[in-house]
Amino acid sequence: MRDVSRRGMLGLGVGAAAALSVAGCSSPGSSESGKVGTKPGKTAKSKPIGDGSTAYTGKQPKQPPKPERLAPGQKPPQFVVFSWDGAGEVGNGLFPRFRKLARDHNASMTFFLSGLYLLPESKKRLYRPPNNGVGASDIPYLTDDHIRETLKNLRAAWLEGHEIGTHFNGHFCGTGSGSVAHWTPAQWDSEIEQAMDFVTKWRTNTGFTDLEPLPFDYSKELVGARTPCLLGQGNLLPTARKRGWRYDASSPGGLQVWPTKKQGLWDFPLQQMPFPGHSFEVLSMDYNIMANQSQASTKAPPANYPGWRKQAADAYIAGFQRAYDTNRAPFFIGNHFEQWNGGIYMDAVEEAFKHIADEKRKDVRMVSFRQLCDWLDAQDPQVLANLRGLGVGQKFTGRG
C-alpha cells in the first residue's frame, strides 16, 4: 500500500475529512441525542450574555484538581487527548456516543467546533470568508434540526467537563488564494471573530427560543484551535497570541515527544504513530489511517472492513503504549464524527479509548487540551526541559 505520509499529503487529508464528515451523514437525529447526562433548566448562577445564546454559569464542572508540580526525576502521568474536528451532530448519534464513552471512563476531550454549524443556511450571507465569496463554504451548512442537536450536545459536553475550541468556519483548503494557507493574520482575526459571532448569536440567527443557552462565556472558553487541513498555522499564531489563546493543535506530522511552544503558544501536533503491518508510521487521525488503507475512499469494499478496523485500533493502541512505556509524551488523537468505510474508524477509536482508560493504569490522564495546558504551565521549566530531551521511544529513567 502506498505511504501517504511520505508524500506530504497528510495535512491535506485532514481537511478533506472535515469536508466529508457532514456531507455523508444526513439521516435524521433523535430528539434525545443531546440529553445524555444533562439536566434541564438554568443553573442558579446563570447570567445571560448578549442575546442569551450563551450564559455565564460559574466555574466549569468536572475539572481535575489543581495541578501539582513534578519533583525532579518523578515520572510524569501519561496524558492522552482525544479531540474532534467540526463537532456537529448530524443525526448519526456519534456526538452523544462519545460523550457517554468519556463519561463512563471519567475522561475529558476537546471539541473543535466549526462556527458555521450554528448558522442556518438561510443566513449564509452573514458569513464573509476571507478571499472567498459571501456565504461560501467548503463544508455544508447544517439543517435546522442538526443545528438544534449540535447545540444540545455542545451544552451537555461543556457541563460534562469537555473543552469547546474552534475549527473556524468554511474549511477552505486547496492551493488557491482562498485557501487558509494564504490567509494573513488580519484575515485569521476576521475568521475567528465571525466564528465567535456564530456561537454567541445563534439565538438571533436561528430564531430558536426553546433551547437553553450554551453555559459558558465563549470569549473566555475559546483558548485553542485546529486549522482546516492543518494549514496556515504560521499566520494564525500571531493573531492567536494577541487574543490570549494558550495553544494551537494545527501542526502536521509531529513526533511523540514532549511539546514545546511556538510564538508563545503550546504546540500540540497530530503525531506519527506506529502503523501495524507497515514500515512507515501514520498520523494519529482517522482520516489519515483511512487514506492509507483505502486511498481516501470512504466506501471501499466491505470485505476489507474487519482487517482495517483492527489495524486502526492497533495503531492507536501502539501509539499509546509506546509513549506509556517510554518517554511518557502526551499522546494526541484527532477524529471526526464520521461513518467512513462502514463506521470502522469510530469503532476503532472506541476500542482504543477503552484500552487506554483501563482502570488498572492509575497514572493515565485522559484530558482536554486546555487541561493539559494547565498542567504544563504549572511545571518547573527545567523539569519540562528534561522531558523534552527524551526522543521517541526513549525510556524515562528519572535522570535529567
pLDDT at 391: 98
d(CA 283, CA 72): 32
- pLDDT tens profile 83-140: 999 999 999 999 999 999 999 999 999 999 999 999 999 999 999 999 999 999 999 9
Lowest mean pLDDT among 12-16, 27-31, 180-184, 395-399: 27-31
The mean pLDDT value of the chain amounts to 90
d(CA 284, CA 216): 30
pLDDT band at 306 (very low <50, low <70, confident <90, very high): very high
Domains annotated for the chain, with CATH where assigned, are 78-388 (3.20.20.370)
pLDDT band at 400 (very low <50, low <70, confident <90, very high): low
Q: Considering only CA atoms, which of 163, 217, 226, 220 is closest in space to residue 372?
A: 163
Average pLDDT on 41-64 reads 88
The pTM of this model reads 0.90
pLDDT at 30: 33
- pLDDT tens profile 205-257: 999 999 999 999 999 999 999 999 999 999 999 999 999 999 999 998 899 99
- pLDDT tens profile 358-381: 989 999 999 999 999 999 999 999
> Does residue 14 register a pLDDT over 50?
no
Q: Considering only CA atoms, which of 20, 18, 10 is closest in space to residue 299?
A: 20
> Does residue 164 register a pLDDT over 50?
yes
d(CA 20, CA 298): 9
